[in-house]
Amino acid sequence: SIAIVGSINVDITTRSDRLPQPGETLHGHSYAINLGGKGCNQAVAASKLGGDAKLVGRIGKDGFGDIAAQHLADMGVSTEHVHLDETHGTGIAVIGVDANSENSIIVIGGANLAVDESDLERSSDVLETAKIMLMQLEIPVETCLSAAKKVRASSGKVIFDPAPAPVHGLPEGFLQNVDVVTPNETETEILTGFRPTNAEEAAHAANLLREQGVAAAVVKLGARGVYFKDETSEGFVEPFKVNAIDTVAAGDCFNGGLAYALADGKSLAEAVRFAAACGALSTTKHGAATSAPTLAEVEALMGA
Ligand code: ADP
């Protein structure tokens, strides 16, 4: 199975002609309530492909928690290992979008910031039996480190998406506990001090990441493609040509796809190509988790 230890948010997205100035009240056109949070998005992406995704995280005992649990169930993700937090509220993101698709976002981490060792212990069977574990940085980094150690102790592989970018750095030796790291340009710069813009520079950045102890570096360059390197393979995957209309959660769909393909026994090279197809397809639809592709859609794009 694929374990995802990460964040669960409810996204409240408003649409208005423009974003408000400080002190200003505006009337908008509409709003939507959707599932969000990188943990959730990646779990949904892996699950939609047909992966046996098990999400470990927390929601609050509030209306938003009910909404998150319902959405997860609708998307076919088990909430068996989503803990109900008695004291913290469900994580939310309040997202304003204007007529030019420019946005401003406030995230209240809530229960996500309380995910700790007790959650890992409660879900020890999930971590011990996971072939692959996905983690990101919307829960405490110490919890990620501990989860990584547990999964690897049971011979599972750890994929780490260093997002949001760890502007205060990672704990010493963190990447030594990770099998695959998947930063975008900004996250690569934060981790290595070097911002790659093309395949050659991404290769250099991948070497810098591998010097920090991670086995495989997968450097995502958005619409410019993705570079990967591990002990035995390296290469550059050209971007799939799609009509991109919304890049929200492209990285999450990429990671969900990467986990699915690696759990399916694919090589890193094959899995990265599969993941790039997932990321590309997600940009052809609006939304976060809802824009994740099905296996049939990915296979159609890869075969074309
Ligand atoms: P993040 O969301 O983490 O910043 P990226 O923007 O790099 O991640 O997108 C993740 C992946 O999705 C990319 O590496 C690429 O494979 C795919 N992707 C994103 N945008 C496009 C695009 N416009 N065309 C094709 N593929 C894309």
Q: How far apart are CA 17 and CA 11, in angstroms?
A: 19
Instruction: Give residue limits of the domains in the chain.
Output: 2-8+36-89+112-303
The pair of three-digit structure tokens given for residue 293, joined into one six-digit string: 């592709």
Residue of minimum CA distance from atom 1 in ligand 1? 251
Helix (H, G, I), strand (E, B) or coil at 219: strand
Q: Angle at CA 181, nearest 5°, toward 235 and 47?
A: 95
- Structure-token match 């997205």, residue found: 13
Residue of minimum CA distance from atom 12 in ligand 1? 279
Q: How far is CA 5 from CA 33, 68, 119, 176, in A?
A: 23, 16, 9, 18
Q: How many angstroms separate the alpha carbon of residue 247 from the centre of ligand 1?
A: 7
* Per-residue DSSP letter, 103: E
Residue of minimum CA distance from atom 25 in ligand 1? 280
Q: How many angstroms separate the alpha carbon of residue 251 from the centre of ligand 1?
A: 6
Q: How many angstroms separate the alpha carbon of residue 107 from the centre of ligand 1?
A: 22
Helix (H, G, I), strand (E, B) or coil at 168: coil
Range 2-8+36-89+112-303 has CATH code 3.40.1190.20: yes
Q: Angle at CA 96, nearest 5°, toward 32 and 77?
A: 45
Pair type for strands 216-220 and 180-181: parallel
Percent of the chain at pLDDT exceeding 70? 100
Specify whether the CB–CB gap between 157 and 149 falls below 8 A: no
The pair of three-digit structure tokens given for residue 200, joined into one six-digit string: 């050659």
The interface predicted TM-score of the complex, written ipTM, equals: 0.94
Q: How far apart are CA 182 and CA 172, in angstroms?
A: 18
Residue of minimum CA distance from atom 5 in ligand 1? 222
Q: How far apart are CA 69 and CA 85, in angstroms?
A: 13
Q: How many angstroms separate the alpha carbon of residue 223 from the centre of ligand 1?
A: 5
Q: How many angstroms separate the alpha carbon of residue 26 from the centre of ligand 1?
A: 33
Specify whether the CB–CB gap between 180 and 254 falls below 8 A: no
Residue 85's identity, in one-letter code, is D
Give, to the nearest 10 degrees, the angle between helix 295-303 and helix 268-282.
110
Catalytic residue ranges: 252
Q: Which residues line ligand 1 (CB under 6 A)?
A: 163, 184, 220, 222-223, 226, 239-240, 242, 244, 247, 250-251, 254, 276, 279-280, 283
Nearest atom (ligand 1) to Cα of 282: 12
Mutation probe of ligand 1 site: the residue of 181, 241, 283, 284 with most atoms within 8 A of C-beta: 283
- Tens of pLDDT along the chain (304 residues) come to 999 999 999 999 999 999 999 999 999 999 999 999 999 999 999 999 999 999 999 999 999 999 999 999 999 898 999 999 999 999 999 999 999 988 999 999 999 999 999 999 999 999 999 999 999 999 999 999 999 999 999 999 999 999 999 999 999 999 999 999 999 999 999 999 999 999 999 999 999 999 999 999 999 999 999 999 999 999 999 999 999 998 889 999 999 999 999 999 999 999 999 999 999 999 999 888 889 999 999 999 999 6
